[in-house]
Amino acid sequence: MQAFTKHTGRVAAMDRADVDTDQIIPKQFLKRIERNGFEDYLFFDWRFDDNGAEDPSFELNQPAMRNATVLVARRNFGCGSSREHAVWALENYGFRVVLAPSFADIFFNNCFKNGVLPIPLPSDVIDRLFEQQAAGGENGYQLTVDLEQQTISDSTGWSISFDVDPFRRHCLLNGLDDIALTLQHEDKITAYEERHATA
């Protein structure tokens, strides 16, 4: 898992509440067993029309939001089924941060396990971010998210602090997913296996 320390990136503002995991990655794309290659299917039904062409009205297809790595959305982001593929698709596309007033619990947990930082923020702060992104015009709007200092800031001097669970913060800062955490105890695992080896 890619470590997360400090990230500066363009903002995509998705003014939608209750974005569920079937919208993030539609069910027909869940047959893959790899954890990569899902970026082409992110928000597929919204990004593309019936002929497979990009829908210019969709947020991620607009010039100011192309190549965004910070996603701002409304409440209850990632609701619906528990598919981890939703986070894989966001991460494969390039998103490192998702900001919203609230998240579905399973989606929230899956983000931390896959190197994406989800940050719940008050609705008025989210409103400000939408306004700033819109004011940026075609040049877009950038945010810097510093996990070490637990701050979000922009080029105007605006800054806000956020909270994150210390264990999750440690794992993200060090790029530790569940497997990597387990392998930190490899010597103890090996010793146990040797003690309990069968002839």
| Domain-located, residue 143 | yes
pLDDT tens for the chain, residues 1 to 199: 889 999 999 999 999 999 999 999 999 999 877 889 999 999 999 999 999 999 999 999 999 999 999 999 999 999 999 899 999 999 999 999 999 999 999 999 999 999 999 999 999 999 999 999 999 988 899 999 999 999 999 999 999 999 999 999 999 999 987 655 555 545 655 555 557 666 5
Q: How many structural domains does the chain have? A: 1
Terminal-to-terminal C-alpha distance of the chain: 37
| Domain-located, residue 115 | yes
Domain enclosing residue 90, as ranges: 6-195
Predicted TM-score of the model (pTM): 0.89
CATH of the domain at 43: 3.20.19.10
- Cα–Cα distance, 31 to 81 (Å, whole number): 15
- What mean pLDDT is reported for the chain? 91
- The 8-class DSSP code of residue 11 comes to E
